[in-house]
Amino acid sequence: MTDLYETIRLHGFGDVAREHRRSRPHLLAVVDGAVRLDFTAFDRRTTQLANALADRGVARGGRVLWLGQNSFRILETLIACAKLGAVFCPANWRSSADEVTTLLRDFDPAVVIWQDAEVGETLRKAREASGGDRLWLQHDAEGQGSYEGLLAAGSETDPDTRINAELPLLAVFTAAFEGKPNAALLSHSTLMYQNLIVGRGQAIDEDSVHLNSGPLFHLGTLMGALATFHLGGANVFAARVDAVGLLELIQAEKATHAFIPAPTIEQIREVNKEGLYDVSSLWSSPAAPEWKYPMCMPADAPMLRKLGGYGQSEVMGLISFAYLGGTAAGRVSPMAQVTLLDDEGREVGPGETGEFAVRGPLVMNRYLGADRENQRRGRFGWHLTNDLGKRAEDGSLIFVGPKTAIIKSADENIYPADVEGCIRQHPAVADVCVIGVPDPTWKQNVKAVIVLKPGQSASEADIIEHCRAKIASYKKPKLVTFVDALPKFAGTPFTDRKAVDAAHGGGGYPSFG
Amino acid sequence: MTDLYETIRLHGFGDVAREHRRSRPHLLAVVDGAVRLDFTAFDRRTTQLANALADRGVARGGRVLWLGQNSFRILETLIACAKLGAVFCPANWRSSADEVTTLLRDFDPAVVIWQDAEVGETLRKAREASGGDRLWLQHDAEGQGSYEGLLAAGSETDPDTRINAELPLLAVFTAAFEGKPNAALLSHSTLMYQNLIVGRGQAIDEDSVHLNSGPLFHLGTLMGALATFHLGGANVFAARVDAVGLLELIQAEKATHAFIPAPTIEQIREVNKEGLYDVSSLWSSPAAPEWKYPMCMPADAPMLRKLGGYGQSEVMGLISFAYLGGTAAGRVSPMAQVTLLDDEGREVGPGETGEFAVRGPLVMNRYLGADRENQRRGRFGWHLTNDLGKRAEDGSLIFVGPKTAIIKSADENIYPADVEGCIRQHPAVADVCVIGVPDPTWKQNVKAVIVLKPGQSASEADIIEHCRAKIASYKKPKLVTFVDALPKFAGTPFTDRKAVDAAHGGGGYPSFG
């Protein structure tokens, strides 16, 4: 009896496609160039693909890798994998041949869906170098050996396999602060809970049109794409990000949501300054605040009205949201617990800085093939994020900085974010990144890399004196250097600390644990 | 390694209280008369109660029954049970001594929390008649044998027991259309998914103040209360529903949400016609549409802007929502699948009427102690709702009527809702209920019980002729009777068909299955 209802209660992410076919048979699911599929066609094609992959041996736990630009086939393959209980990884197609080779060996997929255009040469090199017995399917081709060829051979009859939502579905490679990237395995339930939470925040519903203009191998774009699919909206795919192409898509499809890197937004403004393209579906006006962020959404979306949060790939992108209330990085997600731990796994005192530790169904199942890392990151019964933070008096989260970027000087822990916060208060400073540089006596010295405001000036001594007056003396920089700009992660305001380290002699950071 | 992260991913409904204590330490959790608890105090008290109940032997799967009016202790006990993995049932305190006796025998709780005021005499009779070895705790008393006495004895140290969200947490007795009521067991995950979906629909967030003025033994009020708690808002409890008392609470607590039966809303309008009480937090104006429904919510809440849906207690209240799109009863919830089955479990054809069948995590775990019924209702791998419906062309659900109320006449199936829809089109008709009355020749005859509009008239022959012209002849009523009003389920527009049957000779319905 109980078993009967246990089965009835199962709901994998593939079931969302099945229900859309019943509930929204004629609504648009995906648009990609000339391809326009309603939810009926989309569900049928994902069933065909799942059946075809099953015929080629892909079963529960099987792994499928995507190596190509944005395409509606990413969503199709994800849903086909969901129906099989398999794991899908949309990987970074911008990687070098060596990186792809490592990825292929690490993820060890049974099936690779690849693209010839732009990246064919790199991928062929990696394919040869990595070896392995895999099915390679080209998605930008027809016929034998192609994605479409395989799909067409699949039966349209849905075996309706029941999938436990605790199974992993999505693999996202995350750039660890040290060492090589690991694939975080995220379950069906993780995706679905996050879709409901992000869907509310971004005001996504069945009338939404999500323009996938950011890379789908990052959760920034993927979160919006998955929530849009789950809630019955349409996903529009752009293989490349160029201003005119995006303007045409925004106008033609009446996009309501998008992930557009800040420089591209600037280009769009420039190209469209005469208002040749109607972009009113996406931005209420060129002066509106929703123009400012890579995550574009309706002006009344809670996440736009109150932007901010904290997260990482291991917790499906975001685990706290300013839109849920409070200050700074906002409140913890309704489906998570967050605490702050010291290095022995004890909760730190009120207001103290500790490591963000997370529990609940938004946490990944584990890193793939990294049991030592799983053991280490889960050792206190919480997922350790490697990020430092604290609680505001009202209970909101405050992100302090990555834990592995602690600077160790004369056995004192120095958090770059602390020092940066101080230096930012200097009236001449526009931007700053604080790094540690190796020192034989003190282990590391604090070095500030600073961008000055236009027309302003400040000396090394000015900055050091400014810090001495405001923070503990051991935290003040010993070295200051001035630059024109700091390297940022594409489309974000976040400084690429590794790049700053590389350019300015950073290193010697204390290792974690 | 996997086991480590399996444990990390656990998230019972009690964890929501734990995180609120961290994330919203100073926000108001509950208000009840002189009692005002913030989330810090609320979490501490639920831990004390859980520990005290554990000391008295309540463990995973243990059952706790509430027999009293609305109180903040209902939410406290629910969360204490959540922390233990126990099952909580808020029962109908309006029941007779015989009904409570049956309930006690059926639910067989280890602990009964009861109220002396108003219902003490009834409960004492039932306690004596039902026997059983139970801990009885009076909630409207202090000291020995009282709820507060037991709670005060509980340790404040949280053992932080990890609970799988698939365990049942809430038991809701549902009035089956035939036979005795069964307790639907609803899991932690069922509650939490529904909280996210209802929370978005009702625009509930941490600024919400939910006035629990409807009975908490029904999901109508409970859904809003649980979503409010989950999303960090405040729950205000009213033990009884009277216009002045509610007006005082709405004004004092600035209630934003409430469940208020329609007649009480009318009384409130009358009492407050001079505007003595400020009710602007709940209703934008006395003429606003949000005055019209028992579920009161902000004027811009999606569920108010598009009201409607289909559900039952076995699927946590609602499984489709007009706010999700479409027509009629709206679209299926993002966390469910719904299909339409015939009596052999085959999907019916497009546009045809069938039985609503549901899958996914919003479905109950099972009926408690009713294995034959579980077997019957889950026999096709779907939960059979006993309700008939169909799909609109756009995929929306259309509720036709309860399956067990099919009228069988000369082997034709007649759905009362069909005939009622026809009769409602008659210009003189204000309300109607169509029932079947036993007939030796035809099995049943169709009888229409009609309320005419004030000042209008129509004869039996008029009504029959009206139907003959519009629907299949075998569906037209053979008998028509006129009444002043139809019996309704308290606080709803739904006719109590059993009461109409009883008053007008209804019966002989075909049995199901």
ipTM value of the model?
0.85
Residues on chain B touching A5 (C-beta within 8 angstroms): 363-366, 374, 378, 383
Residues on chain A touching B207 (C-beta within 8 angstroms): 325
CB contact under 8 A, A19 and B396: no
CB contact under 8 A, A9 and B338: no
Q: What are A397-448's pLDDT values in tens digits? A: 999 877 767 788 877 778 787 788 889 999 999 999 999 999 988 889 999 9
Chain B closest-CA separation from residue A214 CA (Å): 25
Q: Quick one: fold of B309-403?
A: Luciferase; domain 3 (2.30.38)
Q: How far apart are the first and last CA of chain B?
A: 48
Interface test with B, best of A10, A11, A187, A320 (most B CBs within 10 A): A11
> How far apart (Å, rounded) are the C-alpha atoms in residues B230 and B228?
5
Among candidates B2, B8, B365 on the partner chain, residue whose Cβ is nearest the Cβ of A5: B365
**What local confidence, expressed as pLDDT, does residue B177 receive?**
46
Residue B144: Cβ within 10 Å count = 8
Chain B closest-CA separation from residue A398 CA (Å): 12
Comparing alpha-carbon positions, the chain B residue that sits nearest to A371 is: B1
Residues on chain B touching A396 (C-beta within 8 angstroms): 23
Comparing alpha-carbon positions, the chain B residue that sits nearest to A11 is: B360
pLDDT confidence bin for A25, thresholds 50/70/90: very high
Among candidates A24, A337, A395 on the partner chain, residue whose Cβ is nearest the Cβ of B25: A395
Q: What are A141-189's pLDDT values in tens digits? A: 999 999 999 999 999 999 999 999 999 999 999 865 445 688 999 999 9
CA-wise closest residue to A420 among A384, A391, A387, A448: A448
Residues on chain B touching A163 (C-beta within 8 angstroms): none
Comparing alpha-carbon positions, the chain B residue that sits nearest to A26 is: B394
Among candidates B26, B364, B381 on the partner chain, residue whose Cβ is nearest the Cβ of A7: B381
- Find out whether B360 and B354 touch, Cβ atoms under 8 Å: no
> What is A67-105 written as a DSSP string?
ESSS-HHHHHHHHHHHHHT-EEEE--TTS-HHHHHHHHH
Comparing alpha-carbon positions, the chain B residue that sits nearest to A349 is: B22
Residues on chain A touching B360 (C-beta within 8 angstroms): 9-11, 15
CA-wise closest residue to A206 among B307, B359, B202, B332: B332
Q: Which residues neighbour A231 within 8 Å (Cβ) at sequence distance 6 or greater?
A: A195, A199, A204, A205, A206, A208, B324, B334
> How far apart (Å, rounded) are the C-alpha atoms in residues B71 and B53?
19
> How far apart (Å, rounded) are the C-alpha atoms in residues A465 and A509?
25
Tell me the C-alpha to C-alpha distance, in Å, between residue A35 and each of A29, A46, A236, B42, B421: 11, 15, 10, 54, 43
Provide the total of helices (H) and of strands (E) in chain A, helices listed first. Answer: 16, 25
Comparing alpha-carbon positions, the chain B residue that sits nearest to A331 is: B23
CB contact under 8 A, B325 and A206: yes
Q: What would you measure as the largest C-alpha separation in chain B, in angstroms?
A: 77
> What is B267-295 written as a DSSP string?
HHHHHTTT--S--TTT-S-TTSGGGSSSE
- Find out whether B345 and B378 touch, Cβ atoms under 8 Å: no
> How far apart (Å, rounded) are the C-alpha atoms in residues B39 and B192?
18
Q: Which residues neighbour A469 within 8 Å (Cβ) at sequence distance 6 or greater?
A: none
Q: What are A44-91's pLDDT values in tens digits? A: 999 999 999 999 999 999 999 999 999 999 999 999 999 999 999 999
Comparing alpha-carbon positions, the chain A residue that sits nearest to B381 is: A8
> How far apart (Å, rounded) are the C-alpha atoms in residues B322 and B202?
12
Exposure letters A93-110 (e unless 16+ CB within 10 A, then b) = bebebebbbbbbebbebb
CB contact under 8 A, B2 and A366: yes
Q: Which residues neighbour A198 within 8 Å (Cβ) at sequence distance 6 or greater?
A: A204, A223, A224, A227, A303, A317, A318
> How far apart (Å, rounded) are the C-alpha atoms in residues A69 and A237?
10
> How far apart (Å, rounded) are the C-alpha atoms in residues B466 and A124?
76
Exposure letters A420-447 (e unless 16+ CB within 10 A, then b) = bbbbeebeebebbbbbbbeeeebbbbbb
The better pLDDT of the pair B4, A469 is held by: B4
Among candidates A2, A9, A394 on the partner chain, residue whose Cβ is nearest the Cβ of B360: A9
Residues on chain A touching B6 (C-beta within 8 angstroms): 166, 365
Chain A closest-CA separation from residue B74 CA (Å): 21
**Token digits of residue A415:** 């958090």
Among candidates A8, A338, A363 on the partner chain, residue whose Cβ is nearest the Cβ of B9: A363
Q: Are strands B209-212 and B257-259 parallel, antiparallel or unpaired?
A: parallel
Q: Please give the single-letter amino acid code of residue A88.
A: F
- Tokens 């070098």 correspond to what residue? A96
Burial bucket for residue A352 (CB in 10 Å: 0-12, 13-18, 19+): exposed
In chain B, where the domains are located? 2-220, 241-305, 309-403, 406-504
Among candidates A15, A360, A396 on the partner chain, residue whose Cβ is nearest the Cβ of B11: A360
**What local confidence, expressed as pLDDT, does residue A1 receive?**
39
**Token digits of residue A372:** 């030592």
Query: Using N-to-C axis directions, what is the helix angle for A243-253 and A262-271, rounded to 10°?
Result: 80
Whether residue A253 has pLDDT greater than 90: yes
Mean pLDDT for all residues in chain A? 92
Residues on chain B touching A25 (C-beta within 8 angstroms): 394-395
> What is A193-251 written as a DSSP string?
HHHHHHHHHTT--TT-EEEE-S-TTSHHHHHHHHHHHHTT-EEEE-SS--HHHHHHHHH
**Percent of chain A having pLDDT more than 70?**
96
What 8-state DSSP symbol labels residue B58? -
Chain B closest-CA separation from residue A190 CA (Å): 9
Comparing alpha-carbon positions, the chain A residue that sits nearest to B329 is: A23
Among candidates B10, B15, B378 on the partner chain, residue whose Cβ is nearest the Cβ of A5: B378
Chain B closest-CA separation from residue A71 CA (Å): 24
Chain A closest-CA separation from residue B4 CA (Å): 6
> How far apart (Å, rounded) are the C-alpha atoms in residues A45 and A76?
8
Tell me the C-alpha to C-alpha distance, in Å, between residue B7 and each of A363, A379, A383: 11, 11, 10
Residues on chain A touching B394 (C-beta within 8 angstroms): 24-26
Among candidates A4, A232, A363 on the partner chain, residue whose Cβ is nearest the Cβ of B378: A4
For residue B176, give the 3-state DSSP assignment: coil
CA-wise closest residue to A148 among A234, A48, A17, A78: A48
- Find out whether B124 and B98 touch, Cβ atoms under 8 Å: no
**What local confidence, expressed as pLDDT, does residue B178 receive?**
43
Residues in chain A: 513
- Find out whether A136 and A100 touch, Cβ atoms under 8 Å: no
The fourth-level CATH superfamily of domain A406-504 is ANL, C-terminal domain (3.30.300.30)
Tell me the C-alpha to C-alpha distance, in Å, between residue B403 and each of A60, B353, B374, B381, B415: 39, 11, 17, 19, 8
Among candidates A22, A334, A339 on the partner chain, residue whose Cβ is nearest the Cβ of B231: A334
Q: Reply yes or no on domain B2-220 having CATH 3.40.50.12780.
A: yes
| Residues of chain B scoring pLDDT < 70 | 1-2, 175-180, 404, 489-494, 511-513
Residues on chain B touching A338 (C-beta within 8 angstroms): 19, 22-23
Whether residue A318 has pLDDT greater than 90: yes
Query: What stretches of A392-513 adopt beta strand conformation (E)?
Result: 397-402, 407-409, 412-414, 429-439, 443-452, 479-483
> How far apart (Å, rounded) are the C-alpha atoms in residues B192 and B205?
14
> How far apart (Å, rounded) are the C-alpha atoms in residues B467 and B180?
35
Comparing alpha-carbon positions, the chain A residue that sits nearest to B323 is: A205
Q: Which residues neighbour B470 within 8 Å (Cβ) at sequence distance 6 or greater?
A: B422, B425
CB contact under 8 A, A24 and B324: no
> How far apart (Å, rounded) are the C-alpha atoms in residues B123 and B129?
10
For residue A467, give the 3-state DSSP assignment: helix
Q: What are B59-73's pLDDT values in tens digits? A: 999 999 999 999 999
The better pLDDT of the pair A389, B209 is held by: B209
Residues on chain B touching A398 (C-beta within 8 angstroms): none
> How far apart (Å, rounded) are the C-alpha atoms in residues A512 and B470?
79
Burial bucket for residue B344 (CB in 10 Å: 0-12, 13-18, 19+): exposed
CB contact under 8 A, B5 and A192: no
Chain B closest-CA separation from residue A391 CA (Å): 8
CB contact under 8 A, B383 and A16: no
CA-wise closest residue to B205 among A297, A228, A298, A331: A331
CA-wise closest residue to B161 among B72, B66, B86: B86
Among candidates A19, A324, A391 on the partner chain, residue whose Cβ is nearest the Cβ of B206: A324
Residues on chain B touching A371 (C-beta within 8 angstroms): 1
**What local confidence, expressed as pLDDT, does residue B402 receive?**
78
Q: A with B: how many residue pairs have Cβ under 8 Å apart?
A: 199
Among candidates B18, B207, B334 on the partner chain, residue whose Cβ is nearest the Cβ of A196: B334
Among candidates A23, A324, A359 on the partner chain, residue whose Cβ is nearest the Cβ of B11: A359
pLDDT confidence bin for A380, thresholds 50/70/90: very high
> How far apart (Å, rounded) are the C-alpha atoms in residues B22 and B105?
40
Comparing alpha-carbon positions, the chain B residue that sits nearest to A370 is: B1
- Find out whether A72 and A31 touch, Cβ atoms under 8 Å: yes
CATH number corresponding to A10-220: 3.40.50.12780
Comparing alpha-carbon positions, the chain A residue that sits nearest to B191 is: A335
**What local confidence, expressed as pLDDT, does residue A2 receive?**
47
